[in-house]
Structure 1
Amino acid sequence: MRVAAITVAVLLLVTLPAWVGNPYYINIASQILFFAVFALALNVLVGYGGLTSLGHAGLFAMAGYTAALLLARGHGHFVADTAALAVTVITAAIYAVLSLRSTGIGFLMITLAIGQILWGIAYRWASLTNGDNGVNVSSRPAPFGLSLAGADGFYYLCLVVFLVCVATMTVVVRSPFGASLRGTRDQERRMSALGYNVWLIRFYAFLLSGFWSGVAGLLFLYYNQFISPQIVALTTSAEALLMVISGGTATLLGPIVGAALVVIMKNVVSAYIVRWNMVLGIIFILIVSFMPDGLVPGSVRLWKWARHRMRRGKVEPVAKVGGGGA
């Protein structure tokens, strides 16, 4: 059943431009895919590491700004993108060194502070970042000569990156490293007593999260062909965290569902409902109230409950008939 569901989902994603047709909705699908990559990156820390970050917008934007500034200075896409990912991973290492001094609310506040520092740099250092005016990118890359200028081409790029990200996360989660990361989340002291270097495990997890946040930031840059300080703001970090929590932490499908929910609310529902922010807030309140584990784990639990009730409904009449005959 699981293999069949995955196969059907991949086929639907691959054929989406053909049965959707409208470039607007294809672009919405592209947004869902690269924000899903961002949410999956954050989920490495929040879900599997038990470390809630409110500064990941800084990593997301670091890749975009680095690539945009290098492209504006005449460098090619390959050089700009490679440098952007390298700078993002280095920034993630700095994040980790500063924030892993504590856990819980202390970790959250340090990541929030670093994110706000990066926002201040993007907003105030106008000679470098062009301030509120942002940085424009005139073209998208053309890997192997394939044009990404149209909605279809860029969607397939996002799809390939998304599938690679999901495959990578699946391998990591099922690996001994993934088990040790979950161990640091659940039993930090016991892991230390067993000889595991808890700090180093979390440091590696931060680097992995930073790398995929940078990849998502590059896709965001090429999607909009523009980047500004707005994307470094706290709102972006909060939205990514809401994607993870609403879909379900410590799951691979949860952040994807959460990303789809937030992107559709922002880009589709907002066209019909003026106060879409209020609707989104109500949805999150309902999720936290009735499905505190998130939509995906909550839906699975609801399905198991319904199936159990159906089975009991079939078994009980038979039991009564048997008892009457005796």
Structure 2
Amino acid sequence: MKRSLYIAAAVTAISFPLWGNDFWVATVACRILVLGVMALSLTFLASLVGLVSFAQMGVAGVAGYAVALLSANTSGVGTEVSWPVAVLTAVTLATLAGLVVGAISIKSSEIYLLMITLAISVCMFYFASQNTAVFNGYDGINGVRAPVVAEVNLRAPLPFYYLCLVTATALAAMVAWLEKTPAGSLLHAYRNSPLRLNALGFNVVAIRLLAFTISGFIAGVGGVLNTWYNGQISPSAVDVHAAVLLLIVAVIGGMKRPAGAFLGALVYVLLENFASEFVSREHFNVVIGTAFMAIVLVSRDGLLGIVESSVGALRKTFYRRSQAAASVSKRQA
């Protein structure tokens, strides 16, 4: 049944532009996929290594600012280069930023890791907002657009949606594949007992840095997509609110599976777009906070945990009914 749910989700995602209008495709669906990719960098750390970082939006911001500075923009900053060079440079810098975050916080865990990565995120915000010569200060870099590739305009809603869908699927598949490899086994071992892993002779520092580096790569890809989606990047994309938002999305969806990042993004974006019909914008955080507490109180694994437990309950019910029917048929025979 779990496989059937994934197949249904894949069919829905692929066919969505056929029955969804431009608003749903360009504003809602693309936003879900972009936010889900960035949240995936956090769920990867939490599920495979057992670490939670507040610096993921800052790492994504490194890629976002890099691709903005290396692309044509209306703010008149940076230098325009070809889009492959811009994207490769942006993702590489974000990957290195993930490595740096891991190196800075190498000896911290739990609440201390949260505080150190939160401090890194705050430093990133002030560095971007106060540097007007390079990052254009609080105004940010505006007029950044996705490229035209082989006469396909990725700025159009439909091509950009499929770009986000293919990228999100590839990254989620990469995380799922990595979990089954020997490297994934080492990451799981670090999550379960780093001291025991160290006693066995493994380099736990290298394993942890590897995890932060991979999460930086995922966040960097999400940062590029986020900048193209918004058409700009500003310090608000890397501030504390953005860091907390990413954590909320990951926890709502569930941090033990890659799909949880996208499920949480789905719930958040739907509330973001339609909660205003019931409450004012000033009370939107109350709605998000209420939904967050309700989901966490019901399930420690977020919505994905609720779905999996419901599927398990249905499977047991069907099994019991089939067994009862089989016993009745034997008695009648």
Q: Give the TM-score, by structure 1 length.
A: 0.91
In 2, distance between residues paired with 1:244 and 1:263? 13
In 1, distance between residues paired with 2:5 and 2:327? 35
In 2, distance between residues paired with 1:151 and 1:33? 13
Q: 1:159 aligns with which of 156, 159, 165?
A: 165
Match of 2:209 in 1: 203
Q: Which amino acid aligns with 2:155?
A: A
In 2, distance between residues paired with 1:144 and 1:41? 30
Q: Which amino acid aligns with 1:81?
A: V
How far is the alpha carbon of 1:270 from its aligned partner?
2.8
Q: 1:130 aligns with which of 129, 136, 148?
A: 136
In 2, distance between residues paired with 1:319 and 1:150? 59
Q: 1:282 aligns with which of 290, 293, 296?
A: 290
**SS of match in other structure, 1:268:** helix
Match of 1:116 in 2: 122
How far is the alpha carbon of 1:24 from its aligned partner?
4.4
The CA RMSD measured in Å over matched residues stands at 2.4
In 2, distance between residues paired with 1:43 and 1:11? 24
Q: Which amino acid aligns with 1:56?
A: Q
In 1, distance between residues paired with 2:323 and 2:276? 48
Q: Which amino acid aligns with 1:226?
A: Q
Counterpart check, 1:62 vs 2:68: no
In 2, distance between residues paired with 1:33 and 1:204? 25
In 2, distance between residues paired with 1:256 and 1:67? 24
Q: Which amino acid aligns with 1:106?
A: Y
In 2, distance between residues paired with 1:78 and 1:93? 23
Counterpart check, 1:181 vs 2:191: no
Query: Is this contact kept in 2: 1:287–1:294, CA < 8 A?
Result: yes
Query: Is this contact kept in 2: 1:40–1:252, CA < 8 A?
Result: yes
In 2, distance between residues paired with 1:40 and 1:308? 31
Cα–Cα, structure 1 residues 250 and 24, in superposed 2: closer, same or farther, change >3 Å? closer
How far is the alpha carbon of 1:300 from its aligned partner?
1.6
Q: Which runs of 5+ in 1 are unaligned?
A: none
How far is the alpha carbon of 1:25 from its aligned partner?
4.3
The number of equivalent residue pairs is 324
Query: Is this contact kept in 1: 2:44–2:258, CA < 8 A?
Result: no
**SS of match in other structure, 1:296:** helix
In 2, distance between residues paired with 1:304 and 1:6? 15
Match of 1:106 in 2: 112
In 1, distance between residues paired with 2:230 and 2:120? 25
How far is the alpha carbon of 1:138 from its aligned partner?
4.4
In 2, distance between residues paired with 1:168 and 1:314? 38
Counterpart check, 1:85 vs 2:106: no
Q: Which amino acid aligns with 1:54?
A: F
> Percent identity, aligned pairs only?
30
Counterpart check, 1:214 vs 2:205: no
Q: Deviations over 1:103-152 (max 9, x none)?
A: 11221111111111111101111111111111013432122321112111
Counterpart check, 1:172 vs 2:188: no
Cα–Cα, structure 1 residues 311 and 14, in superposed 2: closer, same or farther, change >3 Å? closer
Query: Is this contact kept in 1: 2:95–2:216, CA < 8 A?
Result: yes
Q: Which runs of 5+ in 2 are unaligned?
A: 72-77
Which deviates more, 307-316 or 117-126?
Answer: 307-316
Counterpart check, 1:13 vs 2:13: yes
Q: Which amino acid aligns with 2:237?
A: I
**SS of match in other structure, 2:70:** helix
Query: Is this contact kept in 1: 2:276–2:284, CA < 8 A?
Result: yes
In 2, distance between residues paired with 1:242 and 1:138? 28
Cα–Cα, structure 1 residues 114 and 316, in superposed 2: closer, same or farther, change >3 Å? same
In 1, distance between residues paired with 2:229 and 2:308? 34
